[in-house]
Chain A
Amino acid sequence: MPTIIIDTLEIEVPEGTRVIEAAERLGIMIPRFCYHPALGSVGACRVCGVKFLEGPVKGVQMSCMIAAKDGMVVSTTDEEAMDFRKHVVEWLMVNHPHDCPVCDEGGQCLLQDLTISGGHGIRRYEGLKRTHLDQDLGPLLHHEMNRCIHCYRCARYYKDFTGYLDLGVLGSANRTYFGRFSGGILESPFSGNLADICPTGVFTDRPSRFKGRKWDYERRPSLCIHCSLGCHTHVSARYREIVRQEARPSEAVNGHFICDRGRYGFYYSDHDTRPREATLAGKPVGWTRAVASTTEKITEIVRQYSPAAVAVVASTRCSLETQAATKRLCIDRGFTGPAFFISTGQGMRTRTAVAGCTPDLAVSLGEIGTADFILVAGADPVNEAPMLALAIRQAVRNGAEVAVMDPRPVAMPLAFDHLPASPDDIDKYLEALAGGNGEDKAGAPLPVFVRSVSEKLAASRRPVIVCGTDMVSARIPEAASRLAARLKTQSRRPGLFFLMPGPNAFGAALLSESPNDSLEAVIEKIEAGTVRALVLVEAAPHRESPDRIRLEQALSKLDFLVVLDYIDSEAVGSADVFLPTTTIYESGGLFVNQEGRLQGAHPVHRGGLSIHRTGKGSHPPRRYDAGLPGATPRPAWEALGELGADLSRTWEGMDREAVLEWLSKKISAFSNLPLEDLPEDGIRLDVSSTIAPAAGATDKTENEEAESGIELLLSDLTFGTETLSSLSECLHAVEKPPCMVLSIGDVKHLGLKEGDRITVQLKNGTLEVNLRITERAARGVCILPRHRLLPWQCVGTGRVWVKKEQIKAQRHKGTEAQS
């Protein structure tokens, strides 16, 4: 560990630490443009020049390019070094427009900061400026090349870090240009980060352009809740509206970046369809009356039937506080539930995965970068949890190999081996790997791919198993856990990383009594007449459950339906009582990500209808009451607490503190934790005493005999399937058109061909969709995205097989498939 002196301060740093980093540890912020902790040093901008007075190198040198060595004495304030840096800034400003007031970066611009702090106040250059034409890069980013200072961060980020190859460096000398071959939507689903890493105004966030300056914003640390990874963000609000979300650096989770689904997923919070008033039979009645009617009606039902006739269904997107409040309500009042999962299978798979997240095996997203071999089983990173793909890519850049077993035509911006295997085959193979067997259960030899995975696992020191829980059986997460445990006994440092269905699926699993706490089970009870009233908390079953007709029929059988939500789901329309709730941006909240990391989001603003909406483009109406317009919504936990208090005299306190106190008393995983004051990177929960490893878990559907035909699998896409972000209009343009995917090996006998528009006859209706044929999908399955533009909810529950007769191509004469 070398010791180095910078500006008379001494510091010892790990071998390999750059001088710029050592200085930062001392609180000395050496100017930088091209250096970025995630992208490393390349020595291009030259603004980090400092003077090396003693040691192995001498003179003005770039502090980002030189590793600290014993005996180095460095001055950042040396006259020559300062003069050099001042010149660098002057050179960078030669072609830069002097119009910060009209630039959206102004106020959070590194160039602005360094120009001022470098003392370059007066322009000396009298020549002409070089100018460029800009490109239209789509709805998410605005491009202004004249502001470019050529730090190369964008291209290094885009091509090297994320592995997408449609944005790069063109031209040369002082005509160097950063852009695409031709204008058009950026291909990377991580493109929004360009706005964060560009140190000036070349890439700015397009949807929030000109909404304000950084100092105008209410800006707080928050979390992304658009998948289970829980990436850290900063959210900015202005005039009662969320305007921007940026990545918040987190070593343990997302590093320095987030995906575009996360960044632009927030528009639901100020969506024009957002229901903001409490209603009774569809009529606005004010909060108090709505709650009172609810109490009245529920009391009546309890009296008439039993407490168990009232069911509570929440979701995996609820905050932990809300989940806990539903739990408390059910326990206190004897209601049925709470159910958080759509189906029993989903609950089972998630619980099995949660049980596998033991402290010795679970790895964080950040730790994936340290893996030397990664096995991905039943997961499609870019589509299910985009930032996972970036984490895997960093491991690959460090030399890791990656093998994927998944039925989908998995695409990632990295080199990997893919075995397009059906869920049943993945089950077989993972089982064999977990058992260390050379053959599968039936005694058949394993495919070459699986044998090679087995060898690579054996040869690796830091293998990580990434396992999905969406389209696989509960046996798979269980086998993944056993595989990891087995590798551990062989003195490796294995890691286990599960994906889960929703930002708080982990919390939901901890709070569910049994896998039967599912919407599916509750529907059965409604059908059986044992449940008469339903409290639906921040759940949109119409969108998320695969049998909409059955759901609607069940709901119509209810005596009473209460809905609490912040989006206008279909359930809102059929609710007897509706109570509007706040979003994460208004109330904050705790979430447990898929790794078991408990982390918190701060409230960003007070909510209410945005001025932009109340004013309709003009001055907002002058009102003389004290409240905010559209601010009826309350945190769901508070609403539930109110109901609880109304229903029971023993219920004490209904605020957040009370809920959390209850939680820490009742659920051992949360006891003795500083729930009110979590560290930045959160706390990894120890779940061993809360949830038992579900050995040999099964759910009833998975033992269903395979029928003839091909199995229909539902899947997620990066954009267009997740409920909340699907409401963001700016993301609609970057969605890929939804299509059904089929293996090339299966199309022949089905008589179909690429690009066909097909109709699929399903249990509850007919689906019309475009067909995509690929060599890279598993045979015997067809894959359908849960896309907002497809009425996929006619598929039906359980495993679904489609027969040849059910699929028809719609063709005009003359375009018949040749067979």
Chain B
Amino acid sequence: MTADIPQVLFRHRKPHRITTLAEYREHGGYEALSKVLGGLKGGDVQQLLEDASLLGRGGAAFPMWRKLATVAEDAPFPRYIICNADEMEPGTFKDRVLLHAEPHMVIEGIAIAGFAARAEKGIIFIRPEYENAARILEREIENARAAGFLGPRILGSDYSMELVVHRSAGRYICGEVTAQMNALMGKRPNPLQPPPYPTDKGLWGKPTVFQNVETLACVPHIVRNGADWFRNLSRTETGAGTKLFCISGRVNRPGCVELPMGTPLSELIEVHAGGMPEGSTFKACLPGGASTGFLPKKHYDIELDFDALKKAGNRLGTAAVMVFDQNTCLVAATVNLMTFFARESCGWCTPCREGLPYILDLLTRIESGEGRPEHVPMLERMAKHLWSAYCAFAPGAVSPLQSLLTDFRGEVMQHIEEKKCPFK
């Protein structure tokens, strides 16, 4: 990593193994927790997070402090803090990398966030593909507990928290928090439209805060180094902190890198991912996982933060950047994505359950040369109406499709006119 790029989450990352508890403590690990328990109030933590402008890293970019603040002072107990390690957004693997590197950073983050919400129980909800990470976590939770960082009366304070790992059996929708809540309660993981919000009536009807792995890992650093320090890590005014970017597709060095918020896309590709392979030129990328839109070449220099992408009509999502070159058929790529979404739909609401297979059928026809011009407006209208589905799954699902139909319409029409895929 270039020397002048600030590293926070990955600073002490070891190749192929975790940072042990002892090592983590050597670098100031659990100092933040001890500081918090040594005299800060839940409100102080919230204030810090607000000042630091910490936005959720799980995809929705919701301010973390606000969730903590909505847990009412007099809300009932027990309360829950959930670490969302489901990470099923295609292209995304940052939480895995982080958990395989710094499990204690996440555990400390959970403990601090838990304290701020006065949660007595923490649960890490993890996808079944991450069995390795689950085992690491279980072991390290035990170690942290033995060292007094978890369990009853943490570090001699009056705050107690038990942390456990919950293994999912694998479905994309389980990453959505209300569906996750149902999954945790042994119900079918269909989402639940608020109100009530989980922070009000969550798991077992009690206040529950859900945060992404990476979001939680940022918390100890903010407590230790201050809100200003965190905000200033960003290269843009609008951003705050660093961000774990997962880069994959047509690049030479796919992987997960920590970069300041606001790092330009071009730099990400050319410097941090080793550029594109010989002969490949940038055509488009998905900037934040499968449920964001294709970002066309005109945005090649865009500064990657939540705001800039929003302005470009897109989303930073999970910051999983998937790069496509001039030889990638974006219609076929979208067919692939729609297959994913149609398969993973939970089946609760009509637009998603029935609309996505329909869209998939139309798009497959276009890709295979059977498309007709009238299919394009059909797709457009259906995609628009999928925004009126029950949860955020469907709007995410149609995001790549909608950008395909606007920014790459020519490519779609070419399929129809030539009655075949021009890339084949």
Chain A residues packing against B (C-beta within 8 Å): 43-47, 49, 60-62, 65, 83-84, 87-88, 91-92, 94-95, 124-127, 130, 149-150, 152, 169, 171-176
Contacts and interface: CB of A to CB of B under 8 A. Distances in A.
The 3 closest A-B pairs by CB, nearest first: A91-B354, A176-B347, A127-B361
B355 interface: yes
B355 A91 contact: yes
B188 to A, nearest CB: 6
15 contacts: A44-B348, A45-B349, A46-B350, A83-B385, A91-B350, A91-B358, A94-B358, A125-B361, A150-B350, A171-B347, A172-B171, A173-B342, A173-B353, A174-B342, A176-B353
Interface in B346-383: 346-351, 353-355, 357-358, 361, 365, 378, 381-382
Nearest to B390: A43
Nearest to A65: B193
Contact of B389 (A46, A95, A125): A46
B303 to A, nearest CB: 31
B351 A88 contact: yes
A669 to B, nearest CB: 48
B343 interface: yes
B344 interface: yes
Given A87-B351, A94-B357, 17 more contacts: A45-B349, A49-B388, A60-B388, A87-B355, A91-B354, A92-B354, A94-B358, A126-B365, A127-B361, A150-B347, A152-B348, A172-B171, A172-B347, A174-B347, A174-B353, A176-B347, A176-B353
A47 B350 contact: yes
Contacts of A43: 193, 349, 390
B358 to A, nearest CB: 6
Nearest to A88: B350
Q: Do most interface residues of chain A lie in helix, strand or loop, or is the interface mixed?
A: loop
B351 A44 contact: no
A552 to B, nearest CB: 58
B345 interface: yes
Interface in B367-424: 378, 381-382, 385, 388-390
A795 to B, nearest CB: 47
Nearest to A91: B354
Contacts of A91: 350-351, 353-355, 358
A69 B348 CA distance: 27
A49 B349 CA distance: 13
Contacts, number: 81
B382 A87 contact: yes
B354 A95 contact: yes
Contacts of A87: 351, 355, 381-382, 385
Contacts of B388: 46, 49, 60-62, 84
Given A87-B382, A175-B347, A176-B347, A44 B390 contact: yes
Contacts of A65: 193
B175 to A, nearest CB: 15
Contacts of A125: 358, 361
Contacts of B350: 44-47, 88, 91-92, 149-150
A337 B296 CA distance: 94
Given A44-B390, A169-B188, A127 B357 contact: yes
A95 B361 CA distance: 13
B357 A174 contact: yes
Contacts of B355: 87, 91
A173 B193 contact: no
A229 B292 CA distance: 58
Nearest to A172: B347
A171 B348 CA distance: 11
Interface string B258-287: 000000000000000000000000000000
Contacts of B343: 173
A83 B349 contact: no
A168 to B, nearest CB: 8
A60 B386 CA distance: 11
Contacts of B358: 91, 94, 125, 127
A572 B358 CA distance: 65
Contact of B361 (A44, A126, A176): A126
Contacts of B345: 172-174
Interface in B308-355: 342-351, 353-355
Contact of B346 (A61, A94, A95, A173): A173
B170 to A, nearest CB: 11
Nearest to A127: B361
Of residues A46, A88, A92, A127, which shows the largest number of chain B Cβ atoms within 10 Å of its Cβ? A46
Nearest to B345: A173
A367 to B, nearest CB: 27
B189 to A, nearest CB: 9
Contacts of B365: 126
Contacts of B361: 125-127
Contacts of A149: 350
Contacts of B188: 169
B354 A84 contact: no
A758 B389 CA distance: 61
* Most chain B CB neighbours (cut-off 10 Å) among A95, A124, A125, A173: A173
Contacts of A175: 347
A172 B350 CA distance: 12
A60 to B, nearest CB: 5
Nearest to A95: B354
Contacts of A84: 385, 388
A130 B348 CA distance: 17
A94 B354 contact: yes
A11 to B, nearest CB: 24
Most A CB within 10 A of own CB, among B193, B348, B365, B382: B348
B388 to A, nearest CB: 5
Contacts of B344: 173
A57 to B, nearest CB: 12
B389 A83 contact: no
A274 to B, nearest CB: 48
Contacts of B389: 46
B269 to A, nearest CB: 35
A712 to B, nearest CB: 44
A88 B385 CA distance: 9
Contacts of A88: 350-351, 385
A235 to B, nearest CB: 34
A571 B14 CA distance: 94
Given A84-B388, A91-B358, A46 B378 contact: no
A45 B355 CA distance: 12
Contacts of A172: 171, 345-347
A696 to B, nearest CB: 48
Contact of B351 (A46, A127, A130, A173): A46
Nearest to B370: A126
B373 to A, nearest CB: 14
A618 to B, nearest CB: 46
A174 B350 CA distance: 9
Nearest to A84: B385
A46 B349 contact: yes
Given A91-B355, A92-B354, A173 B347 contact: yes
A54 to B, nearest CB: 19
B392 to A, nearest CB: 14
Contacts of A174: 342, 345, 347, 353-354, 357
A39 to B, nearest CB: 15
A83 B346 contact: no
Contacts of A60: 388
Contacts of A126: 361, 365
Contacts of A47: 350
Contacts of A171: 347
A289 to B, nearest CB: 66
B262 to A, nearest CB: 32
A61 to B, nearest CB: 8
Contacts of B347: 150, 171-176
Contacts of B193: 43, 65
B375 to A, nearest CB: 10
Contacts of A46: 349-351, 388-390
